[in-house]
Amino acid sequence: MLILFYAFSPSYVFAQTENDMALIPAGKLKINKGHGNKEIFVDKFFMDRFEVTQESYKKIIGANLSFFQNNKKPVEKVNWFEAMEYCLKIGKRLPNEWEWEWAARSGSTSKFYWGKEDPKLYSWFKKNSEKKTQPVGQKKPNSYGLFDMSGNVW
């Protein structure tokens, strides 16, 4: 059973389901490809709000080969085929390149979705991560309600 409700906040609006996914709205993604610009229409879709944790991955796949072992950290060292296998086993799919880009940008036209705000509030990177992955969902989400769309494991 799918239950939708809307959460409203001054910083973001997103739809949430019982399995912690966000409804990403349809829109036009502007792409600058070498010799010109193009627009790609992206239809609405659902996307997990958080990176897949090592705990979830191990429960479904039976193994965790991540370098930074911790059940609450994102699974890493997973190739596309292994990610696809996980998705199929839980009845989901990976976003395509344009869906991921649209979701990561969350409607922003700036270089990063947080605009001019402090990047430490939204992402993990070399200077604030101690050069290791961090538990998922510790930073602010983007305007679509998605966490860790820049940094950590991406």
pLDDT value at residue 34: 72
pLDDT for the residue numbered 13? 44
**Whether the predicted pLDDT of 63 surpasses 70:** yes
Cβ neighbours around 33 below 10 Å, total: 7
pLDDT tens, residue by residue, 2-34: 333 334 343 444 444 446 899 999 999 888 777
pLDDT value for 112: 86
Q: Is the pLDDT of residue 44 over 60?
A: yes
The residue among 92, 91, 122 whose CA lies nearest residue 106 is 122
**Residue 8 host element (H or E):** strand 5-8
HSE of 94, CA atoms in CB hemisphere, 13 A: 12
pTM above 0.85, yes or no: no
The token pair that represents 145 in the structure block = 């309600």
pLDDT reading at 58 higher than 90: yes
Q: If phi over 0 gives left and psi between -120 and 50 gives alpha, with beta otherwise, what is residue 36? A: left
Average pLDDT over residues 30-59: 90
List phi, psi (to 5°) of 86: -60, -50
- Region 52-74: mean pLDDT is 95
Lowest mean pLDDT among 10-24, 31-45, 77-91: 10-24
pLDDT at 77 over 90: yes
Quick: pLDDT tens for 92-137: 999 999 999 999 999 887 888 898 899 999 999 989 999 999 999 9
d(CA 58, CA 55): 5
